[in-house]
Amino acid sequence: MKKYLIALLMVCFPALAIAAGGAAYPMDTFKADLKNQESLQRGMGLFVNRCMGCHSMEYQRFARSGEDIGIPDDLMEEYLILGEQGINDQMTISMDKDDAEGWFGAPPPDLSLEARLRGGEWIYNYLRTFYRDDAARFGVNNAVFADVGMPNVLEDLQGVVVNHCTHEELLARGGFTGTLDPLTGTRSGQCLQVQAGTGSMTPVEFDQAMYDLTNYMTYVGEPSKLQAHRIGTYVLIFLVIFTFVAYLLKREYWRDIH
């Protein structure tokens, strides 16, 4: 009985289940903004160009994304549909699952529901904390996903990240936190450090890009949320108008009684 209760608790509060898995990386916060169309559009651009070589989004169609986040069909076809696919096709890829398993050890999973599985915060931190590790298979490791089987496909943007800490320290102190000097306002002693001049983006630009990408993945996890927001506005407008009409009707009925 007790076991069932614990299982029930973990289903209701997924954070408990994650916490039970030992020390967790202290995440930087991420808050999705589904109203920010430009962010969602940039995020989709990054996903198609950087991730769809290996990951599909089988539950999402190009056309649905375009409609929801405001990308016209002609631009979508010209810039975001890279293969033979059409606008109404699902965002699948041609990589064979068995081949992929052979290359990477684990096949790159479909990412349609990733944001619902892991949460935006996890993805946002995961994408920013790849670091060089000569002992690892692809020469990279990750602060959030230890011994990850995914190569760092973002290194040319972020730059080469070196890790000065052990894995335990990384979990205890976080990657980029370090100690803040209250006098100068500068941080030092961060575990993860980007080697200057090795990436095409500044740290702020890179964080923004990963924000956009995570934002888009959050939208794909629950596309109807955007629609619900839009419909919600119309419902509220309707209610206001209807209340006014009902009020006029009430006045009309009561006029004879008074």
Q: Which residue's structure tokens are 């976080």?
A: 174
Q: Give the residue with the Cβ less far from ligand HEC, 66 or 149.
A: 149
For ligand HEC, the binding residues in 142-201 under the rule CB under 6 A are 148-151, 153-154
Q: Which of 42, 55, 61, 128 binds ligand HEC (CB under 6 A)?
A: 55
With b for 16 or more beta-carbon neighbours within 10 A and e for fewer, the 216-249 pattern comes to bbbbbbebeebeeeeeeeeeeeeeeeeeeeeeee
Q: Give the residue with the Cβ less far from ligand HEC, 146 or 162.
A: 146
Q: Which of 14, 16, 53, 137 binds ligand HEC (CB under 6 A)?
A: 53
Q: Which of 109, 136, 177, 178 binds ligand HEC (CB under 6 A)?
A: 109
Q: Is 220 in the site for ligand HEC (CB under 6 A)?
A: no
Nearest to 51 by CA among 243, 232, 212: 212
Q: Give the residue with the Cβ less far from ligand HEC, 54 or 171.
A: 54
Q: Is 34 in the site for ligand HEC (CB under 6 A)?
A: no
With b for 16 or more beta-carbon neighbours within 10 A and e for fewer, the 125-156 pattern comes to bbbbbbbebeeeeeebbbbbbeebbbebebbe
Q: Which range in 51-59, 160-168, 178-186, 230-238 contacts ligand HEC by CB under 6 A?
A: 51-59
Q: Which range in 7-15, 59-67, 69-77, 118-126 contacts ligand HEC by CB under 6 A?
A: 118-126
Q: Is 206 in the site for ligand HEC (CB under 6 A)?
A: no
Q: Is 45 in the site for ligand HEC (CB under 6 A)?
A: no
Q: Give the residue with the Cβ less far from ligand HEC, 134 or 252.
A: 134
Nearest to 91 by CA among 36, 37, 53: 53
Under a CB-based contact definition with an 8 Å cutoff, are residues 190 and 143 in contact? no
Other Cβ atoms less than 10 A from the Cβ of 50: the count is 17
List strand residue ranges (DSSP E) for the chain, in order: 57-61, 90-91, 130-132, 140-142, 161-163, 179-180, 187-188, 192-194
Q: Give the residue with the Cβ less far from ligand HEC, 76 or 154.
A: 154
Q: Which range in 67-75, 110-118, 157-165, 222-230 contacts ligand HEC by CB under 6 A?
A: 110-118
Min CB(101)–ligand HEC separation in Å: 9
Under a CB-based contact definition with an 8 Å cutoff, are residues 80 and 48 in contact? yes
